[in-house]
Structure 1
């Protein structure tokens, strides 16, 4: 397999299909914003009573949000760099897969060079580090565990597919869920100044969202990932084993809320509030593994995650309203 070091030029007389700005936005996957509402979940947990909300809390969460955008953008840009170099993106977005839009991978499409992509990735990573450092500095009473979490989160994120290549060595699925949970807990810890078991449960449920469209992508990408040695669960097990794994994740998502409600970590009604997400997961799973439409199942994961996020925010507002009533 041939590795690649630089995006090729456009053929003579061929116009660039889109602007550099649009290509950078594609490289940073700015249209896939599903990690960023983690800050809204954290905010909803400290919002009520509004009279007790400090201006510094809003500033802290704003800085954390912009930092999260920069860090995630850097992470996915570096993922594209690695995918371009090892050829997996060319395989997964090539002519044999007409359902994947090649322009979503600017290096494969040739709309950005490797040098441009690396410069963009490291510039956004640096911006993310500065913004998160500012958020920690401004937070009134940041707990030590939160500061450590934010530092670890930054270091690990840029190693997702670059450097240590966490996603290549069997940890991708854990990372996808852990990133979501850590973003919720990091934002909450800075804003609230203490730990909450209920918010941790929400963080885990939030992390299931990106995980449960990521595993469908992995199912589609098995040939390209296997060719470069990317050890996702989809690559390591049989098709039946992969379906069982994804089904188990759906069950684990439901059980997380159910156990939290049963043990008092969450209100008794929390499990019932989250049932619409479970229904959407059943539909997603059947679409992927009964109807055999993996990419449509992946697409269904986005509204499921976004609905779940709205429900998590709703739960926090209900709890907050009850505490002030």
Structure 2
């Protein structure tokens, strides 16, 4: 190594940069400005040719962890959703986008935006496969596992904050599982995996939901019921186990402990969402939830 090279490497290390580290993707993407993206948004995201749409779609993944909700939510998520729902991505582009989003899910997320919004876009990717199947069985199984693991692992319960906009990890994870629950290609074990993941977040420790999370968590369960995952007895057993996990039977804590009150609030909100939706449904398989929800609601403190 020459003296000049050694000096250069030392300088890079002192500045905290490795010499072979690739630059982080830009947001707005190269060739775009906030203004030009807003113009695209105002035009309904419909003015680009297919190849440019696919390229910009992948580039906008870098905006999913941007602190600006107008870029993150209003442009990146909304644009990707519009394009996927409009059939603007080829199968190859969808696979590439999914890989980018998985990378985003696995990357550090210091501000807490990137993973929830990647999950929300992955819900749209899952929807494309439901509408016109393109994933292999192994790819679909891997997505079920990723989505379930993501929801189970959420421990940042921030929803909406003024200035920041939305994070909403639990709700976005539930939306991802909802889209997968709608897919008729899932097998019973995959549906059960989704149900197990939902159960892990119905009654989180030391947090009371205030941003509609119980209703979002209820949606995959209602769809799994519609798919015939359990009969009445099976649903009642699952709901009773869920209620037991909330640990509401400790008389020393009842009505005297903030965490106990939060658990009761969350469980009751979830059960109520299930019960109301099942009551309004005309589907006999969904109505199989009613005896269990009614029994557990009546038995709650």
Give the TM-score normalised by structure 1: 0.27
Flag the structure with larger Rg: 2
Higher relative contact order (CA 8 A, sep 6+): 1
Give the TM-score normalised by structure 2: 0.29
